[in-house]
Amino acid sequence: MTNKPGITYRPAQASDEAAIKALIRAVNINPMGLKWHRFVVAVDGNGRLIGCGQIKPHWDGSRELASIAVQKEWRRQGVAGKIIRQLLANEPALVWLTCMDKLVPFYEQFGFIEVKKGDGRSLPFYFRLATTFFKPIQKLSRVPGYLAIMVWPVNP
Protein backbone atom coordinates (compact mmCIF):
# COMPACT_ATOMS: atom_id res chain seq x y z
CA MET A 1 0.00 0.00 0.00
CA THR A 2 1.35 3.45 -0.89
CA ASN A 3 2.52 5.84 1.77
CA LYS A 4 0.53 9.06 1.26
CA PRO A 5 2.74 12.14 1.28
CA GLY A 6 2.43 14.33 4.35
CA ILE A 7 1.41 11.52 6.70
CA THR A 8 3.76 10.51 9.49
CA TYR A 9 3.44 7.20 11.33
CA ARG A 10 5.08 7.17 14.76
CA PRO A 11 4.80 5.94 18.35
CA ALA A 12 2.36 8.14 20.28
CA GLN A 13 3.49 10.82 22.70
CA ALA A 14 1.77 12.03 25.87
CA SER A 15 0.54 15.08 23.91
CA ASP A 16 -1.48 12.73 21.58
CA GLU A 17 -3.59 11.36 24.44
CA ALA A 18 -6.54 13.78 24.21
CA ALA A 19 -6.80 13.39 20.42
CA ILE A 20 -6.65 9.57 20.67
CA LYS A 21 -9.46 9.56 23.25
CA ALA A 22 -11.54 11.96 21.12
CA LEU A 23 -11.14 9.77 18.00
CA ILE A 24 -12.05 6.57 19.87
CA ARG A 25 -15.13 8.32 21.27
CA ALA A 26 -16.09 9.63 17.81
CA VAL A 27 -15.94 6.16 16.16
CA ASN A 28 -17.72 4.60 19.14
CA ILE A 29 -15.38 1.68 19.90
CA ASN A 30 -14.13 0.36 23.27
CA PRO A 31 -12.98 3.39 25.31
CA MET A 32 -11.21 1.28 27.99
CA GLY A 33 -7.45 1.01 28.34
CA LEU A 34 -6.36 3.88 26.10
CA LYS A 35 -2.82 4.23 27.49
CA TRP A 36 -1.06 6.51 25.00
CA HIS A 37 2.38 4.87 25.30
CA ARG A 38 1.09 1.67 23.64
CA PHE A 39 -0.23 3.48 20.55
CA VAL A 40 1.06 4.04 17.04
CA VAL A 41 -0.48 7.16 15.49
CA ALA A 42 -0.74 8.68 12.01
CA VAL A 43 -0.60 12.47 11.91
CA ASP A 44 -0.98 14.95 9.05
CA GLY A 45 1.50 17.66 8.09
CA ASN A 46 0.09 19.92 10.82
CA GLY A 47 0.48 17.29 13.51
CA ARG A 48 -3.25 16.53 13.66
CA LEU A 49 -4.27 12.98 14.49
CA ILE A 50 -5.51 11.02 11.45
CA GLY A 51 -5.60 7.52 12.91
CA CYS A 52 -4.42 5.31 15.72
CA GLY A 53 -4.10 1.77 17.04
CA GLN A 54 -2.51 -0.14 19.89
CA ILE A 55 -1.48 -3.55 21.16
CA LYS A 56 -3.15 -4.04 24.55
CA PRO A 57 -1.63 -6.53 26.99
CA HIS A 58 -4.17 -8.37 29.19
CA TRP A 59 -3.88 -9.86 32.68
CA ASP A 60 -3.95 -13.42 31.28
CA GLY A 61 -0.86 -12.78 29.16
CA SER A 62 -2.76 -12.40 25.88
CA ARG A 63 -2.16 -9.44 23.58
CA GLU A 64 -4.86 -7.65 21.60
CA LEU A 65 -4.77 -5.48 18.50
CA ALA A 66 -7.21 -2.76 19.52
CA SER A 67 -8.39 0.84 19.13
CA ILE A 68 -7.89 0.84 15.35
CA ALA A 69 -9.55 4.04 14.13
CA VAL A 70 -9.16 6.51 11.28
CA GLN A 71 -10.85 9.90 10.85
CA LYS A 72 -13.70 9.62 8.32
CA GLU A 73 -12.14 11.93 5.73
CA TRP A 74 -8.89 9.91 5.74
CA ARG A 75 -10.40 6.44 5.24
CA ARG A 76 -9.69 4.07 2.30
CA GLN A 77 -6.20 5.51 1.84
CA GLY A 78 -4.26 2.78 3.58
CA VAL A 79 -3.87 4.56 6.92
CA ALA A 80 -5.20 1.78 9.15
CA GLY A 81 -3.18 -0.76 7.17
CA LYS A 82 0.08 1.10 7.83
CA ILE A 83 -0.71 1.43 11.54
CA ILE A 84 -1.58 -2.27 11.86
CA ARG A 85 1.57 -3.43 10.03
CA GLN A 86 3.72 -1.18 12.21
CA LEU A 87 2.13 -2.55 15.39
CA LEU A 88 2.50 -6.19 14.30
CA ALA A 89 6.11 -5.72 13.21
CA ASN A 90 7.23 -5.74 16.85
CA GLU A 91 5.09 -8.65 18.00
CA PRO A 92 6.83 -11.95 18.67
CA ALA A 93 3.79 -13.99 19.69
CA LEU A 94 0.09 -14.48 18.99
CA VAL A 95 -2.02 -11.32 18.73
CA TRP A 96 -5.79 -11.52 19.16
CA LEU A 97 -8.61 -9.16 18.29
CA THR A 98 -12.36 -8.86 18.43
CA CYS A 99 -14.40 -7.16 15.72
CA MET A 100 -17.86 -7.18 14.25
CA ASP A 101 -18.13 -9.90 11.61
CA LYS A 102 -18.31 -7.41 8.72
CA LEU A 103 -14.68 -6.43 9.44
CA VAL A 104 -13.30 -10.00 9.23
CA PRO A 105 -12.19 -9.53 5.57
CA PHE A 106 -10.47 -6.28 6.54
CA TYR A 107 -8.29 -8.00 9.17
CA GLU A 108 -7.70 -11.11 7.03
CA GLN A 109 -5.56 -9.03 4.67
CA PHE A 110 -3.02 -8.59 7.50
CA GLY A 111 -2.84 -12.33 8.18
CA PHE A 112 -5.46 -12.62 10.94
CA ILE A 113 -7.65 -15.70 10.84
CA GLU A 114 -11.07 -16.03 12.40
CA VAL A 115 -11.27 -18.46 15.32
CA LYS A 116 -14.48 -20.42 15.12
CA LYS A 117 -16.14 -22.63 17.74
CA GLY A 118 -14.89 -26.18 17.57
CA ASP A 119 -11.79 -25.50 15.44
CA GLY A 120 -9.60 -26.77 18.26
CA ARG A 121 -7.88 -23.50 19.11
CA SER A 122 -8.42 -22.54 22.75
CA LEU A 123 -9.16 -18.91 23.45
CA PRO A 124 -7.24 -16.98 26.10
CA PHE A 125 -9.35 -16.48 29.23
CA TYR A 126 -9.77 -12.74 28.59
CA PHE A 127 -11.38 -13.38 25.19
CA ARG A 128 -13.66 -16.11 26.55
CA LEU A 129 -14.92 -13.64 29.15
CA ALA A 130 -15.23 -10.81 26.64
CA THR A 131 -17.47 -12.83 24.33
CA THR A 132 -19.61 -14.10 27.21
CA PHE A 133 -20.27 -10.52 28.38
CA PHE A 134 -20.70 -9.10 24.90
CA LYS A 135 -23.45 -11.48 23.72
CA PRO A 136 -26.30 -10.20 25.93
CA ILE A 137 -25.24 -6.56 25.37
CA GLN A 138 -25.34 -7.08 21.63
CA LYS A 139 -28.76 -8.74 21.81
CA LEU A 140 -30.12 -5.73 23.69
CA SER A 141 -28.55 -3.20 21.33
CA ARG A 142 -29.87 -5.10 18.27
CA VAL A 143 -26.69 -4.47 16.31
CA PRO A 144 -26.74 -6.92 13.38
CA GLY A 145 -23.98 -9.52 13.00
CA TYR A 146 -21.79 -11.16 15.61
CA LEU A 147 -18.57 -10.49 17.48
CA ALA A 148 -15.74 -12.30 15.71
CA ILE A 149 -12.50 -13.34 17.39
CA MET A 150 -9.40 -13.42 15.25
CA VAL A 151 -5.78 -14.35 15.82
CA TRP A 152 -2.61 -13.36 14.06
CA PRO A 153 -0.44 -16.40 13.99
CA VAL A 154 3.32 -16.01 13.81
CA ASN A 155 3.37 -19.58 12.56
CA PRO A 156 0.03 -20.09 10.79
Q: Which residues bind ligand COA (CB under 6 A)?
A: 27, 29, 68-70, 75-81, 99, 103, 105-106, 109
Q: What is the nearest approach in angstroms of ligand COA to the Cβ of residue 75?
A: 3
Quick check: 6 and 45 in contact, CB under 8 A?
Answer: yes
Closest to ligand COA by CB, 108 or 155? 108
Q: Over the Cα atoms of the chain, what is R_g? A: 16
Identify which of 8, 70, 10 has the alpha carbon closest to the alpha carbon of residue 45: 8
Residues β-bridged to residue 41:
10, 52
Closest to ligand COA by CB, 73 or 119? 73
Q: What is the nearest approach in angstroms of ligand COA to the Cβ of residue 66?
A: 8
Q: What is the nearest approach in angstroms of ligand COA to the Cβ of residue 9?
A: 12
